[in-house]
A and B are shown apart, each in its own frame.
Chain A
Amino acid sequence: MSTLTQVREIVLMNLRSIPQRLGASLVIVIGIGGVVGVLVAMLSMSAGLGKTLNATGDPNRAIILRGGSNGELASFLDRASATLIKQDPAIARADDSLPLASGEIIVITEVPRRGDTSGANVSLRGVEPKGFLLRPDLKIVEGRRFKPGLREIMVGAGAYKQFDGLEIGQRLKFRGSYWTIVGRFESGDAHDSELWTDLETAQGAFGRSGVSSVLVRLTSRDAFAGLKQRLTTNPQLNVDVKTERDYFSSQSSGLTSQIGYLTTIVAAIMAFGALFGALNTMYSAVSTRTQEIGTLRALGFGAAPVIASVMAEAMALSLAGGMLGAGVAYLLFNGYSVSTLGGNFTQIAFNFAVTPALVIKGLVWALAIGFLGGLFPAMRAARMPVTQALRG
């Protein structure tokens, strides 16, 4: 028999005998399943966050902030600047021939998380009526829009799920008066985590005269460069101009890399533990098969096929474990919604996303553990003297 045929036969024989060692095999499957499950679940958190933030932002929209501010929260533009910005020719105009631009203000309010008493920071965004025209993806799912001039609030779908007391008809109390919740909206992006109200109502209540940012719709994608050039060189203004997409993706980078870093530490420690579990199992698998391996060697099977058979068993079991872990992570966590601190020092709600790329990453980890866990026992099996092995 050629080595290849030997390898094929012995690997198949070995794999078919796994059910006889079910208990031991389960150790590898579950050990590695645990590692991959935790890895995939935690990474799906940063994937979900990235997805939400990257969904925000249309390349046809640009956001203008005060120069040097690191986010909308720290940005401030006075009324004169906001008005001046809106007149730029790169900004598209609505049917009423007014510019499609919305001066917006961001303030932070505290709303308790569901099942918690201490407040979490939630953004309250004051928008101008054009803010709705600018964002056609935004849909009202229940209730109605707030009326300008009244202390009324619309809540985002994500905020509604995460925080307490945001039902339509309920009232929030801040800045010395009650604000009624009149509607719920869904936009599928970062705005879902916000509360919205009328710009001027918010300005009045929070004692602000200007805005945090101006959001505009460009006449075309190419108009951005011109807009940026004109606004940043205008001596009357001190502003940063970014496309909305660039702005939101820059807000998420720090957080997602931190989650990735922590995940790797946790998964590495777990993998270290699971590796020893796999080694234990494979060593005992080899020792229960001592006589069998001795017989095979006596029949003329080489060392390579023996190594291959042990490795194949380890890798097959790890793969099964990896799939189990990824599967459990998918079933339990895909779409699970949470909120965390986002770029503006406020809460951003998002859903865990178990993507195919993450599953593949998990399986790579599983195979790596299986490879290391199988290698040493396989070497031992191959090195066993035939006579000694036959005696068992």
Chain B
Amino acid sequence: MFLKYAPLVLTALLRKKTRTVFTLLALAAAFLLIGLLQAVNSVLAGGADFLGANRLISQAKTSFTQPLPMRLLPQIEAVPGVDRVSHSQFFGGIYQDPKNFFPQFVVNPQRLRDTYPEWTMPEDQWRSFISTQDGAIVGKLLADKYGWKVGDIVPLNSFIWTKTDGSRVWEWRIVGIFSGRDQEWSDRAGLMYLNYGQFDEGRVAGARGLAGVFVVRVRDPMQSERIAAEIDKRFENSADETKTQSEQEFQLGFLKQLGDIGFIVNAISGAVFFTILILTGYTMSQAVRERVPELAVLKCLGFTDRSVLLLVLAESLALCLIGALLGMVAATLVTNGLPPEYPVKTDARVWLFSGAAVLVLASAVGLPPALHAMRIRIVDALAGR
């Protein structure tokens, strides 16, 4: 059935090649945009659940920029179900030029190793990170970018932390270069970890003893939600109330700060969809109008009204499908080519969304001309009336 009619649909599309190609290109551009925009939406909508989260982040309830004191650590560790706890403080260092921005976190090396087993590094480098007060380890990506090797001294000018002598330039000795245990984590190895030892000793007295945020590794991911609630309850009504959420949600929080991205993304997608609807709708109705005598001939040959209707609908669907496919493939290639710090992916969800959009589009633009084609009266059409 389908194969029998496929050549007819194809012939109809190839009847005016320029017009079909132009419409396909317009459709491809529209779906490229929709694919990219909805990929952004997909990131925002995804995550935000505790399911399968084996790492939680405890931050100060007022704001994550407010460091939590180190004394909370043993109390968090004592919560049943907590496996290991580490702490992490954003360092805010500039290497040579503000344009060279990369994140650095001040951590306790042993605790980092326990909570992030995804990072891999030779055993002797882990040992020297643990034992070197001014030690730092850098991700493979970063080390390659700046040509750093073990033993190098890297000066970082922190815009947040001042040393007791009033200077803000901290020197860190690179003692290890880490990588990820799989491709996904290797792609993220663009950051630097600094030893808490030199950091806490060096900073002004008023700031000592602050840990930053706590990273909590739980034994059973299914228990995450309960553990998070229990940690927050422990510090309720103290000066240092905490807010504990899954690591994924914590990171999403940064994106959400940018604003109501969902609204902007959907507004643009809507405008794009409406525009392409009008464009393709016009092409389809034009294509059918030109072919009225041909359609009448088909009917003379015994095609029923219904099969003519389906024929035109199939043509519209084929047009939208090919155009959308081109655009979506382009969108997928673009998002796959983005650097790992942009976690935007044109994933299955986005493809599904676009598939639905194609169906809506194809029926909206195909139905009016298809109904017109169905209602053609053979005599009138052949007479050119």
Contacts and interface: CB of A to CB of B under 8 A. Distances in A.
Q: Do A and B bind each other?
A: yes
Interface of A: 23-24, 26-27, 30-31, 33-35, 37-38, 41-42, 45, 66, 68-70, 73-74, 76, 107-110, 113, 116, 118-121, 174-176, 205-207, 209, 238, 266, 269-270, 272-274, 276-277, 279-281, 283-284, 338-341, 345, 347
B168 A68 contact: yes
B106 to A, nearest CB: 15
Interface stretch (B134-142, B178-186, B268-276, B296-304): B268-276
Nearest to B286: A284
A270 B29 contact: yes
Contacts of A34: 271-272, 274-275
B96 interface: no
Contact of A280 (B23, B29, B65, B275): B23
B65 A73 contact: yes
B62 A109 contact: yes
B23 A110 contact: no
B278 A206 contact: no
B363 interface: no
7 closest A-B pairs (Cβ-Cβ)? A273-B29, A34-B275, A108-B63, A340-B259, A276-B22, A277-B279, A276-B26
Given A27-B278, A108-B63, A284-B19, A238 B166 contact: yes
A220 B249 CA distance: 50
A273 B29 CA distance: 5
Interface residues of B, number: 53
* Chain B CB within 10 Å, residue with most, of A31, A41, A120, A273: A273
Interface string B284-322: 011000000000000000000000000000000000000
B122 to A, nearest CB: 36
Contacts of A341: 257-259
B353 interface: no
Contacts of A107: 62-63, 66
Interface string B240-271: 01010000010011001111100010011001
Interface of B: 18-19, 22-23, 25-30, 32-33, 61-63, 65-66, 92, 98, 157, 159-160, 162, 166, 168, 206, 237-239, 241, 243, 249, 252-253, 256-260, 264, 267-268, 271-272, 274-276, 278-279, 282-283, 285-286
B20 to A, nearest CB: 10
B275 A30 contact: yes
B252 to A, nearest CB: 8
Nearest to A78: B206
A283 B19 contact: yes
B257 A347 contact: yes
A176 B168 contact: no
21 contacts: A26-B282, A33-B275, A38-B271, A68-B159, A74-B92, A108-B65, A109-B62, A110-B61, A116-B256, A121-B63, A174-B61, A175-B62, A175-B239, A206-B66, A207-B239, A273-B276, A274-B279, A280-B279, A280-B282, A280-B283, A340-B257
A26 B98 CA distance: 50
A273 B63 CA distance: 44
B239 A113 contact: no
Nearest to B276: A273
Given A107-B62, A109-B62, 9 more contacts: A23-B285, A74-B92, A176-B238, A207-B239, A270-B33, A272-B25, A273-B30, A277-B279, A339-B259
